[in-house]
Amino acid sequence: MKKVILICIFSCFLFTACETSDTEDVSEITNYAVITVKGPEEVLQPMGEDFVDPGVSAEEAGQPVDVTTSSSGQFRGGALDTDVPDQYLLSYSATNKDGYSASAGRTVIVYGTGDLITDLSGLYTSTVVRDGSGGPQYTDMKYILIWKNSDGTFQLSDGIGGYYDLGRGYGKAYIAPGAKVTVNGLNDYTFGPNFTVSTFGGVAMMTSMTVDPVAKTIDFTSDWDAGPYSFAVHLEQVQ
């Protein structure tokens, strides 16, 4: 019995000695890059004006690290373009010496401002009531975009006013894209085609719209067959 115990102790000693020898020069410490975003994390950028990125800085253990910047439009796609209204996500990334990356971001919203007579373009806050029920979380939500397409129609970033994206906080996978309006005259509009509510699916359509150019407001309704639900949306143009 004593021989068995001695053999086991000797074997454990050898294993421990080998493990220490193999790993004694390996560091287990890595310093991740720390990215500091300069300026505001959200920029409201008037269409057609030059955008100057406030920039970022990145350090690894106190030493500067190179930063890579990319951008993507959340509604229309493509890189940041101040001639194309959209909500752009600027992504900043930096990689440390061990190959680990860190990232940070900034939102840049490019928008036009229409007169609300012939041009509905603009950046809007949104208040939504669904089937007669609203609440603080669906009030003055930021933001809904309206832009002019090349065919003359005006398109909304969310045809139900951000109810699920902004109000419920579900994110961009739950917007209702594709809602379009043709302006025939003040308070004379044609709607279509029908659209859907992204992840949820179903068919939605705009059914009415009233615009007040003096108050800078738009009120519209959209019906969605999934409930069915009816959304009453009040937009206020950001000046």
Backbone angles phi, psi at 15, to 5 degrees: -60, -45
Please name the residues in contact with 107: beta carbons below 8 A apart, sequence gap of 6 or more: 41, 42, 43, 87, 88, 89, 90
C-beta separation of 61 from 126 below 8 A: no
Domain with CATH 2.60.40.10 in the chain: 34-111
Domain with CATH 2.40.128.220 in the chain: 122-237
d(CA 85, CA 41): 18
CATH of domain 34-111: 2.60.40.10
CATH of domain 122-237: 2.40.128.220
> Looking at residue 26, what is its pLDDT?
53
> Looking at residue 139, what is its pLDDT?
98
Mean pLDDT split into 10-residue runs, the chain, 239 residues = 36 40 59 94 97 94 93 97 98 94 96 98 98 98 98 98 98 98 98 98 98 98 97 97
pTM: 0.85
**C-alpha distances out from residue 228 to 23, 49, 130, 164, 223, Å:** 64, 42, 10, 15, 7
d(CA 154, CA 148): 4
Q: Is the peptide bond before 193 cis (omega within 30 degrees of 0)?
A: yes
* Beta-carbon count within 10 A of 15 CB: 10
- DSSP string for residues in the chain: -HHHHHHHHHHHHHHHHHHHHHHTT--------EEEE-S-SEEEEETTSPP----EEEEETTEE---EEEEEESSS-SS--TTS-EEEEEEEEEE-TTS-EEEEEEEEEEE----SSS---EEEEEEEEETTB--GGGSSEEEEEEEE-TTS-EEES-TTTTIIIIIS---GGG-----EEEEEETTEEEE-S-EEEGGGEEEEEEEEEEEETTTTEEEEEEEETTTTEEEEEEEEE--
> Looking at residue 24, what is its pLDDT?
52
Please name the residues in contact with 203: beta carbons below 8 A apart, sequence gap of 6 or more: 194, 195, 196, 224, 225
> Looking at residue 16, what is its pLDDT?
41
